[in-house]
Each structure stands twice: as structure tokens, then as C-alpha cells.
Amino acid sequence: MLVGSIRLQRVSLGRYTTAGSCGVINVCKKSCYSTKPAFELKENETSINGNSFAKDEWTNVTPAILSKVNRQLHLQPKNPISIIRQLIESNFTDFKTFNEFSPVVSTKQNFDDLYIPKDHPSRTKSDNYYFNKDTVLRAHTSAHQLQGLASGENKFLISGDVYRRDEIDSSHYPVFHQIEGFFYLDNDLNKLKAELQRLQATETPNIELVDNTVIKPENPIQACHSAEASDLIAAHLKHSINTMIRNLFADEKDLKVRWIDAYFPFTSPSWEVEILYKGEWLEVLGCGVVNQKIMNGAGLDNKIGWAFGMGLERLAMVLFGIPDIRLFWSEDSRFIDQFTPGKINKFVPFSKFPPCIKDISFWLPEGEWHENDFCELIRGEAGDIVENVQLIDDFRHPKNNKRSLCYRINYRSMDRNVTNDEINEIQEKVRRVVQEQFKVELR
């Protein structure tokens, strides 16, 4: 619980870096970046990068999350996330790039402008980080589509950090990075055909394709588009995506790509794209024909376009062989110095320290239980020393119908040994805060 005003500031102390008055210690071998005091939490408002937002019942941003806002891993040249971004951009050389939009956006940008329904679960407090009911940390780079369209560019890429409350394990983190691609042109059949022919003449990706998608009521052509125009722009999209994937996975000799039907409020028809990588189908992106309401909202009524969005962490973990998503945030030179801009090489582990496992069990009070909120609280208390959190028991008492949960917390540092005494102290803090915040009865 934050009372009064707390300002966080990174202070480099040789091998250790502390985060001011919060008492959180991040251990690293070398400080690779510097952040000025960027945010301030007061009783009635939150300030970040010079802007202030009044608190209300929706406010749930945390110091741990706000401390990440200025890291911008996608712009650090030697970080694998940035390397993947650059490689994707190299496949779209004539696209304008936008890489520095602020992650602080309005709920209108994040939801309404994309025609996400008011009752859609993606709007909940348990899925997002709100400054207040009108302002949020973006949950996707799609929040900037109208800004891209307002630039006058008809083809552009947007990349940046995005924020979603999530579970804790080796492949999930509350801050990750996306890149968004957008292309449009005149809704004219002759121009659409000519553009598709131009594109197909320049690239012929060597991919084994599985694409059994068909137009159907669950994934329809928009009523304002002709079937032929929708087919042409979809073919343009698919060729562009297949070419990019082939180039990214150039070392995968027998690459297989699968297109499957999907649903997104901001595209129709919509698809997800998966690749067969080391024997398993891996989802890499979502895409589709842009909802014409978005085009019309930008004054582009006579245009038709496509868009795609993809997570950079997932691709980087596969291509670089990085086993734990927390490593992307490491300041350890043993991690950063392994990578070279423009080149994909496999990560070489530099340490593997033993875990320290603790369980926490409790009886729930009446009402809803959101696991994302529980994980967020643990992150706030323990930081990145938590490797994963797993529900190991869910029991309902046969007599009083009370529900009991037991979670296993795996503590492991990526760069040092942790002691049992140290983890016991953290675990006691976690138990205390869980009891206070969620009104549970500890067991």
C-alpha cells in the first residue's frame, strides 16, 4: 500500500542497483541503462514523464510496472527483442516505422477506436493497468492505428512495449513487446490486382503452406467489401506475411506455415498464423482485413487495408533459444554481450542457480477470484526473483462450501544464489499482503 508520495529513482552502486525507497533490490552485473525519476505515486494522482492522472476506482498501476515504462527494450540495439524488430522491419523496407509512441493511452484509443465491445473481457481491471477509468497503459500496439493513419502513410509499422496482467511462468510477463503492420490502398479492383501482381513478382517464398481457411458466417467478408476486393487484399496480406516468416526462419529447412480462422474486433475476415517449429505448432501472429469503420474513422472511406500484430518475445525466445522471458530484462553483460544487431545466434546459458520453492494456501472469501491479480501482487512484493506460480490444489469443503486454493511459488534468481532465509522473509511479506489485500484466511 503506497501512502503519501513515493518517487523511485535508480541508483547504480557497482554490482547492485537499488530502486530508491521501495526497498526492492535488483542484482545485476552491469547497469546497461539509465532512467531518470520518471513517475511519482501520490495519494490522489499518479505522475509519469511529466503528465499527471487523477486516481479513481479504476486505478491499479503499480510501481513495479511503472518502473518498466522507460526501458524500451525494443530500441536497445543488442537486445534480442530489438534485433527481431529490426529484422521484421527489413522485410518491409518501404514501410514507415513508428517506434516511440507513448505507452500511456486513453481507453478510447485502446478499446473504443478498435470497436472492442464495452462488455468485452479484455477491458477488465484484472487484464489491464489503469491510471484511471479514462487512461491505461496500452494493451496492444493497435491502440496507435489511427495515429499511423493520420500520418498520411499508407503502409507503416508500429512497435512498442505493451502491458497486460498475466500469470507467472517462463513465457509470460506483464510487459512484453509487439509490432504492428498496416497497409492500405484504393478499393479499386484494377489497382488491387496490379499491386498483388507486383508483390508476387518480387518474392517467391519457399514455404510448405497449410491454408484451408474459407469465408464463412463466423469469419465473414465485411458487407461493405466486394468478395473480389476482399480476396485480393487478403492474398496481398498472406503473401507479405509468408515472405516475412520465411526470411525470419531462414535456417529452418522444411518450414511449414498454417493459417487458421480467428476473431478480432478490428479485422474481418481474421486469421492466426502458426509455424511448425521443432515438431510443434507455434502461434506467431494475428491478422486480417481491417474493419472498414476504422478506415472510415480516419477519413479513408474509399480505401481497403490489412493489418497484422505479433509478439516479439515469443519469436525471440524461439529464434535465440532463450528459456526464460525474464532474461530480456537482464542488465547482466553476460546476457547482453552475446548478441549482435542484425544477427540471430543461440543464447548460451551463463548460470543456473537452484530454486527455492514455497507454498501458500488459503480459504477464499465470497466473491470473484482473479488469478491475474494474485500474480500481480506477488510480482509487486517479490519482483523478478519469482520464476513461476502454479495452482497445485483447488478444494471446496463439502460441508460449508468454502473454497481453498494452494499455490506453489518457485523463487529463482537468474544471476545469483538465493538463501532460504532471504526467501522466507519475502514469503512472509507475500503471505501478509495477500491476506490484507484479498481478505483470505491463511492456512
pLDDT given for residue 205 in this prediction: 59
Q: What percent of the chain has pLDDT over 70?
A: 91
Nearest C-alpha neighbor of 123 from the set 107, 109, 105: 107
The pTM of this model reads 0.84
On the question of pLDDT at 34 being above 80, the answer is no
Q: Span 388-407, mean pLDDT?
A: 95
Report how far residue 312's alpha carbon sits from residue 317's, in angstroms, rounded to the nearest whole number. 9
Burial of 167 per CB tally in 10 Å (0-12, 13-18, 19+): middle
Q: List Cβ neighbours of 430 (8 Å cut-off, separation of 6 or more).
A: 360, 377, 378, 381, 382, 409
**The one-letter amino acid at 30:** K
d(CA 89, CA 96): 9
Residue 15 has pLDDT above 70, yes or no: no
pLDDT at position 203 is 63
Residue 144 DSSP label? G
DSSP H helix total and E strand total for the chain: 11, 22
Q: Predicted confidence band at 207 (pLDDT cuts at 50, 70, 90)?
A: confident
- pLDDT tens readout for residues 71-117: 999 999 999 999 999 999 999 999 999 999 999 999 999 999 999 99
Instruction: Please give the pLDDT value at position 6.
Output: 30
- For residue 386, what pLDDT is reported? 94
CB atoms within 10 A of CB 41: 22
Lowest mean pLDDT of 166-180, 192-206, 235-249, 401-415, name the range.
192-206
pLDDT in tens, 259-297: 999 999 999 999 999 988 777 888 889 999 999 999 999
Please give the average per-residue pLDDT across 216-224, as a whole number. Answer: 94
pLDDT tens for each residue of 106-115:
999 999 999 9
pLDDT tens column, 151-200: 999 999 999 999 999 999 888 999 999 999 999 999 999 999 999 999 98
The Cα–Cα gap between 174 and 71 comes to 14
Burial class (CB in 10 A: 0-12, 13-18, 19+), 48: buried
